[in-house]
């Protein structure tokens, strides 16, 4: 991906740094100014100058950083910076157009079944890597293991606790622009989630359809089943 060409009309020395800021947020999800300064070896004042420019230009937006209940300290809540749709568009992979054209040709010559077969083949890594992660990290919940698989695949995924279970959040989607026209890519992912978790899951939002993050609800029964298996193994 060629991030260096996304910034225009800025001082020559600033463009590469702002590209690094956008790339880090694209790969890892929303980050605070302090996180970015530490990761990019910049001063807090320096990173804020770049963030102000990117927010003003419409490629980033500032939101209140999410925290788990009971973990917020005193003072004003930290602000995190995330990509806007404009920012996602500017970071669009140069091969997206080619991939879209290829899938259009596949649909015209092989029909929707061919597109679905391709989409399912593309996400085979989820089942393969899930088995590896769960073997390496038995301490992870099923959702956490799945999030690790997706993060390694470029999706910047994490898990949030909900009263009814867990919510899988994908802050980045490497195929979002293509999936906008070919939702079969998202559907194949959801099918793979259900298979590895052994339960129905509910896709609530997708970046491909204009949402800020892909979210999937994982019912509490998955967590309970995993906990029961652990108890039985240790008994």
Q: Enter the tokens of residue 192.
A: 């793979």
Helix, strand, or coil (residue 32): strand
User: What pTM does this model have?
Assistant: 0.61
Which residue, among 219, 207, 212, has the nearest Cα to 161 in the 3D structure?
Answer: 219
pLDDT (average), residues 51-79: 75
Among 18-22, 24-28, 45-49, where is mean pLDDT lowest? 24-28
Q: What is the pLDDT of residue 98?
A: 80
pLDDT (average), residues 208-234: 70
What angle in degrees, to the nearest 10, is found between the helix axes of 96-122 and 124-136? 60
CA distance 96 to 92: 7
- Name the band, by pLDDT with cuts 50, 70 and 90, for residue 19: confident
Residue 83, pLDDT > 60, answer yes
Residue 35, pLDDT > 50, answer yes
Residue 232, pLDDT > 60, answer no
Q: Which of 42-51, 85-94, 105-114 has the highest mean pLDDT?
A: 105-114
Q: What is the pLDDT of residue 70?
A: 52
pLDDT (average), residues 57-81: 72
Q: Please state, in angstroms and as integers, the Cα–Cα distance from residue 19 to each residue in 24, 30, 41, 205, following that order.
A: 9, 15, 14, 27
**Which is it for the CA torsion 216, 222, 223, 226, positive or negative?**
negative
pLDDT (average), residues 159-176: 88
In a 13 Å sphere around the CA of 191, the CA atoms on its Cβ side amount to: 15
Helix, strand, or coil (residue 6): coil
Residue 223, pLDDT > 70, answer no
Yes or no: say if 218 and 197 are a contact pair by the CB < 8 Å rule: yes
Yes or no: say if 218 and 194 are a contact pair by the CB < 8 Å rule: no
Q: What is the pLDDT of residue 205?
A: 93
CA-based Rg of the chain, rounded to a whole angstrom?
Answer: 20
- For tokens 């799945």, name the residue: 146
Yes or no: say if 146 and 130 are a contact pair by the CB < 8 Å rule: yes
Q: What is the pLDDT of residue 11?
A: 44
pLDDT (average), residues 103-107: 96
pLDDT (average), residues 78-94: 77
Residue 193, pLDDT > 90, answer yes
Yes or no: say if 197 and 174 are a contact pair by the CB < 8 Å rule: no
Yes or no: say if 215 and 168 are a contact pair by the CB < 8 Å rule: yes
pLDDT (average), residues 77-89: 83
Helix, strand, or coil (residue 176): helix
Q: What is the mean pLDDT of the chain?
A: 83
pLDDT (average), residues 103-121: 96
């Amino acid at each position: 991906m060629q991030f260096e060409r996304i910034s225009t009309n800025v001082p020559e020395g600033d463009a590469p740094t702002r590209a690094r800021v956008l790339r880090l947020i694209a790969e890892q999800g929303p980050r605070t100014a302090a996180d970015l300064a530490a990761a990019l070896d910049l001063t807090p004042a320096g990173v804020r100058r770049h963030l102000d420019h990117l927010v003003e230009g419409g490629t980033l937006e500032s939101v209140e950083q999410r925290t788990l209940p009971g973990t917020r300290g005193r003072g004003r809540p930290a602000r995190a910076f995330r990509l806007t749709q404009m920012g996602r568009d500017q970071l669009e992979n140069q091969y997206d157009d080619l991939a879209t054209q290829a899938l259009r040709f596949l649909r015209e010559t092989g029909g929707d079944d061919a597109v679905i077969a391709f989409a399912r083949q593309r996400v085979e890594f989820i089942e393969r890597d899930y088995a590896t992660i769960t073997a390496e990290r038995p301490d992870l919940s099923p959702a956490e293991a799945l999030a690790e698989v997706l993060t390694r695949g470029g999706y910047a995924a994490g898990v949030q606790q909900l009263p009814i279970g867990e919510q899988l959040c994908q802050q980045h989607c490497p195929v979002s622009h293509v999936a906008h026209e070919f939702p079969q890519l998202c559907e194949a992912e959801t099918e793979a989630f259900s298979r590895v978790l052994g339960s129905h899951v509910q896709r609530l939002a997708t970046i491909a359809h204009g949402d800020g993050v892909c979210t999937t609800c994982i019912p509490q029964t998955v967590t309970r089943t995993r906990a029961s298996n652990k108890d039985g193994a240790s008994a």
